[in-house]
Amino acid sequence: MKTLEAPLGERIDFTQQLHQSTARDYVARVVEHDKAESAAIAAQFGADYWDGDRRYGYGGYRYDGRWVPIAKTFVDHFGLKPGDRVLDVGCAKGFLVKDLADVCPGLEVYGLDISEYALTHAHGDVAGRVLRGSCDKLPFGDRVFDAVICINTIHNLEPIRSADAIRELQRVSKGQGFIQVDAYRSAAERQLFEDWMLTAKTYSMPQDWEALFASCGYTGDYYWTVLE
C-alpha cells in the first residue's frame, strides 16, 4: 500500500526585506579574486567567513537589530507564546535567537550552528542557549519544539545530508517550521548564484526543493533565496 506524502505547509517569504537590503558585487567575487580559494576558506565557517574580507563571506556579521521585525513575524505567524520552545538551526551568532526571546518574553529559544567561531562570538544575551552541532544530526528528542526555523543552512550539505536534515527538522518539531534554501528559476539566475555563492552544495529550482520537502515528510513552511 502506497504511503501518502504529508502536505507541505505555506510557501511564504519571511526574509525578503533582509535579503533585498544586502548589497552584492557579483563581478568582483568572480573576476577580482580566486573564487575557488575564497570558497575553500569560507567553507571553514571561521573568522574569515564571518568577520573577514567580503570575498570570504559576510565581511563582518554584527548585531544591528535587522532581525527584530522578522522575529515579530515568526511569533505572530506561529502563534508563539511564553513557555513555547523554539529552535533556530544555523543560528550563527544567535541574533535571531536573541530577538525572538526579546519580542516574546518567556519564549524558550535555542540555537544550533556548526561554526565554533560564530558560537564563541555570539551575542551575550544568548549565552547558554546556543550549541554546536549539525542540522542533519540534531541532538534533541522527537517533537520537543513548538517551532523550528532553519534559514539558509541545509543547502550547505550534500544532497543526501540535506534530505537527512529536512527529516531531522521535522522530527524535532511538533509540526510547525520554516526552511529557507538557495534556489534559481532560470539559467540567468543560476549563473548569478554560482558566481556569488561560496558554501552551498545543494541548490536547484523551487519545484525540485518542494518535491524533496514532500518526500522527506516535511509539513512546515518554506521559501528560497533567489539572486536577481
Domain membership flag for residue 84: yes
Instruction: Tell whether 80 is covered by a domain.
Output: yes
Burial of 180 (0-12, 13-18, 19+ CB in 10 A): buried
DSSP 54-96: GGGS-S-----STTHHHHHHHHHHHT--TT-EEEEET-TTTHH
pLDDT tens for residues 15-24? 876 655 555 5
Other CB atoms within 10 A of residue 96 CB: 25
Question: Quick check: 1 pLDDT over 50?
Answer: no
- 2 in a domain, yes or no? no
Name the nearest CA neighbour of 210 among 13, 6, 8, 21.
8
In the chain, the amino acid numbered 57 is G
Are 187 and 158 a contacting pair, CB within 8 Å? Answer: no
Residue-range definition of the domain harbouring residue 102: 16-225
Say what the pLDDT of residue 2 is.
Answer: 35
Domain assignment present for residue 97? The answer is yes
Identify the pLDDT of residue 228. Answer: 77
Q: What is the pTM of this model?
A: 0.91
Centroid of chain to Cα 224: 10
Asked if residue 105 belongs to a domain, the reply is yes
CA 148/CA 218 separation, integer angstroms: 12
CATH code where residue 92 lies: 3.40.50.150
The count of domains in the chain is 1
In a domain, 4, yes or no: no
C-alpha distance across the termini of the chain, in Å: 44
Q: List Cβ<8 Å contacts ≥24 apart for 36-44.
A: 38/198, 39/198, 39/199, 42/198, 42/199, 43/198, 43/199
Sequence-distant (≥ 6) Cβ neighbours of residue 186 within 8 angstroms? none
Residue 87: count other Cβ atoms within 10 Å of its Cβ: 24
Element at 194 (helix H, strand E): helix 187-196
Report pLDDT digits (tens) over 169-227: 999 999 999 999 999 999 999 998 888 889 999 999 999 999 999 999 999 999 999 98
pLDDT > 90: percent of the chain: 82
Residue 1 lies in a domain: no
Is there a domain that residue 10 lies in? no
> Model confidence over 66-118: pLDDT tens digits?
999 999 999 999 999 999 999 999 999 999 999 999 999 999 999 999 999 99
Q: How confident is the model at residue 28 (pLDDT cuts 50, 70, 90)?
A: low
